[in-house]
Amino acid sequence: MAQHQSYPSPPSAEEARTNPIALLELREHVAREKLVKIEEQKLVREELKLCYRREGVNHISKCKHLALEYIRLMKENKEAINLN
């Protein structure tokens, strides 16, 4: 199994204001976090598509939890994108 790369904790916003390198590191950290959330949303969407196909006419009751999770992730990601 592949190991995940760990990154150092991001610099504080105060430090990023005075240090250009810290600002770059903070931007990279925020971008990585957004990409992770987007990928998580894609995984749930794929799982939801498979559930719809697998369950057929019962998809409304059987896949509801995935649909609600997907909606929650879409709202979170939309808010995260609108912050910047």
Q: Where are the domains of the chain?
A: 13-83
* pLDDT given at position 46: 98
Per-residue pLDDT tens listing for the chain (84 residues)? 557 777 778 888 888 888 888 889 888 988 888 899 999 999 999 999 999 999 999 999 999 999 999 999 999 888 766 655
Q: What is the pTM of this model?
A: 0.74
The b-or-e profile of 10-31 (16+ CB within 10 A means b, else e) is bbeeeebeeeeebeebbeebee
